A = this chain, B = another copy of it.
Amino acid sequence: MVANWFSRTPRRIEAPRVRARSDDQVTTKVDLVEFTPDLQQFLGRAAYVQLTLFENLSRAVSTAPSTSAKTALGRAAELSIAKHRQLAEEITRAGGDPATAMEPYTTAVDTFERSTHGADWLETLVTCYLTAGFLDDFFARLAQGLAPDVRGRVAAIFTGDSGSEVFVQLLTQAIENDPRLASRLAMWGRRLVGDTMLVARSALDDRKTGNRKSDEARIEPVFTELIAAHTRRMDALGLTA
């Protein structure tokens, strides 16, 4: 189950799981469907987050020290901005305006962007890899609580190919060339997870449930899984989470 969630390959979304609100948490399934906001809110926030991820990635292209790195990162940048376009198209399809839908989230997400900017090219690469990976996982799960007619299509935006292998390749190569980088980049990766979780946490609509303590109990296992996936991404770089 967990492995399935974090699979990087495109996959078919399973049928919706229905859970009674009043149920105690008796199942081992952990999901966020009770906390999914309205469609325009979901899409507006996700679209603006995705724009930020693209901006980080395009900066990584511009500051890359070699043409081969630029071309390789260009592929990931293309996939990233295509995701933003698809989210904006979903906003329009649902009768909204992309800029209007994104506007409420710009201040918080811009703050996130600044704090995850990175001091140099390698830190920016770590940001692109870890924050996009975490947030793709998160939004794909949160999308499961959308209406049945859009759920699969929206979730697929986040589960498609993101070209993330380029980050692993460039970063492991850099660390191999200069092993002293490992501790600095590991520290950066650990710092990122806190800011990224804040962005994810703020996307949850817990007004729908209301019992804060019970909410936290239901949310926590999901974040435990998201952090486990983050740890695996750090592992892939040879870094200690």
A residues in contact (CB < 8 Å) with B? 47-48, 51, 54-55, 58-59, 61-62, 66-68, 70-71, 74-75, 77-78, 81-82, 84-85, 88, 98-99, 102-103, 106
| Cα–Cα distance between A154 and B99 once the two chains are bound (Å) | 35
Taken together, the copies of this chain in the complex come to: 2
Q: In the assembled complex, which residues on chain B have CB atoms less than 8 Å from the CB atom of A67?
A: 48, 51, 98-99, 102-103, 106
| Cα–Cα distance between A212 and B54 once the two chains are bound (Å) | 46
Distance in Å from the Cβ of A58 to the closest Cβ of chain B?
A: 3
Q: In the assembled complex, which residues on chain B have CB atoms less than 8 Å from the CB atom of A99?
A: 66-68, 71
Q: In the assembled complex, which residues on chain B have CB atoms less than 8 Å from the CB atom of A48?
A: 67
| Cα–Cα distance between A102 and B72 once the two chains are bound (Å) | 13
Distance in Å from the Cβ of A107 to the closest Cβ of chain B?
A: 11
| Cα–Cα distance between A51 and B73 once the two chains are bound (Å) | 11
- The answer to whether B85 and A81 touch across the interface, beta carbons within 8 angstroms, is no
| Cα–Cα distance between A99 and B69 once the two chains are bound (Å) | 9
- The answer to whether A84 and B74 touch across the interface, beta carbons within 8 angstroms, is yes
| Cα–Cα distance between A50 and B81 once the two chains are bound (Å) | 17
Q: In the assembled complex, which residues on chain B have CB atoms less than 8 Å from the CB atom of A81?
A: 74, 77-78, 81
Q: In the assembled complex, which residues on chain B have CB atoms less than 8 Å from the CB atom of A55?
A: 58, 61-62
State which of B51, B58, B62 has its C-beta within 8 Å of the C-beta of A71. B51
| Cα–Cα distance between A59 and B59 once the two chains are bound (Å) | 8
Q: Which 9 A-B pairs have the closest CB atoms?
A: A58-B58, A68-B99, A67-B99, A78-B81, A67-B102, A55-B62, A74-B81, A71-B98, A71-B88
Chain B minimum-CB-distance residue to A106: B67
- The answer to whether A70 and B58 touch across the interface, beta carbons within 8 angstroms, is no
Task: Provide 17 A-B residue pairs closer than 8 Å at the C-beta atoms, listed in order of the A residue.
Answer: A47-B71, A48-B67, A51-B71, A54-B74, A55-B58, A58-B58, A58-B77, A67-B102, A67-B103, A68-B99, A71-B88, A74-B84, A74-B88, A77-B77, A78-B78, A78-B82, A81-B81
